[in-house]
Amino acid sequence: SSLILYGPAGTGKTTLAHIIAHKTQSRFESINAVVSGVEDLRRTIEQAKFRKLNQGACTIIFIDEIHRFNKAQQDVLMPGLEEGSFILIGATVHNPFFYLTSPLLSRSLVVELKPLKKEDIMTILRRAIADKTAGLGNLKIKCDDKAVEFLANACEGDARRALNALEIGILTTNPDKDDIIHFDLEASEDSIHKKAVRYDRDEDW
């Protein structure tokens, strides 16, 4: 089924689309509705049709910010969807029931994503610190728990914002004489440009 992923920024809409394409061994074509027009859309759809007819290959067309497409642009998708030439995955931060046409919605499953919980963000940040392939694991990092917790709270459920702040904070912190980067609460605050609330021992203001 085609999907419309609806939720706040940084909740994993694009990541989920990539996972689906990988798991289904589908060709992944990405379009940003802000900068792409009808011609880009038609070209991508024709390429998907060619793969389906000549190679039997499935194509996932991922449209970021799909709410930016007007009715005419959304209508361009309909013949290919009805023929099964491709699978659509749209991503939007706005309620799709207000922005997308009824025919498009009727052929898609709408999935609402919620902001990530603090514990989820902390897990993501710790994995990024340890990951030697896609993260910061090749650096010598000593990371305070309070620093990670502050970022997880400050990013308000947005994993992308938290990861960007973590990367900025670690890469702009000078290592000590042993080449160890100490990512503490102060560095965490500076990286996201927001000061932590100070509490006393009873966690009062």
State the sign of the Cα–Cα–Cα–Cα dihedral 62, 68, 73, 78.
positive
**Alpha-carbon gap, residue 112 to 156, rounded angstroms:** 17
For residue 204, count CB atoms less than 10 angstroms from its CB and return exposed for 0-12, middle for 13-18, buried for 19 or more. Answer: exposed
For 81-123, what is each residue's pLDDT tens digit?
Answer: 999 999 999 999 999 999 999 999 999 999 999 999 999 999 9
Predicted local distance difference test score (pLDDT) of residue 60: 96
Task: Tell me the pTM.
Answer: 0.80
64: helix, strand or coil: strand
**Residues paired with residue 31 on neighbouring β-strands, in sequence order:** 63
**Alpha-carbon gap, residue 196 to 46, rounded angstroms:** 52
Q: What percent of the chain has pLDDT over 70?
A: 94
34: helix, strand or coil: coil
- The candidate with the shortest Cα–Cα distance to 2, out of 95, 82, 115, 72, is 82
For 18-35, what is each residue's pLDDT tens digit?
Answer: 999 999 999 999 999 998
Predicted local distance difference test score (pLDDT) of residue 37: 86
**Alpha-carbon gap, residue 187 to 152, rounded angstroms:** 14
Predicted local distance difference test score (pLDDT) of residue 193: 73
Amino acid at 36: S
Predicted local distance difference test score (pLDDT) of residue 1: 85
Task: Using the predicted structure, report yes or no on whether residue 13 has a pLDDT greater than 80.
Answer: yes
CB 151 within 8 A of CB 189: no
Task: Using the predicted structure, report yes or no on whether residue 203 has a pLDDT greater than 80.
Answer: no
Predicted local distance difference test score (pLDDT) of residue 194: 52
For 134-169, what is each residue's pLDDT tens digit?
Answer: 899 999 999 999 999 999 999 988 999 999 999 999
> Cα–Cα–Cα angle for 99, 77, 36, nearest 5°?
75
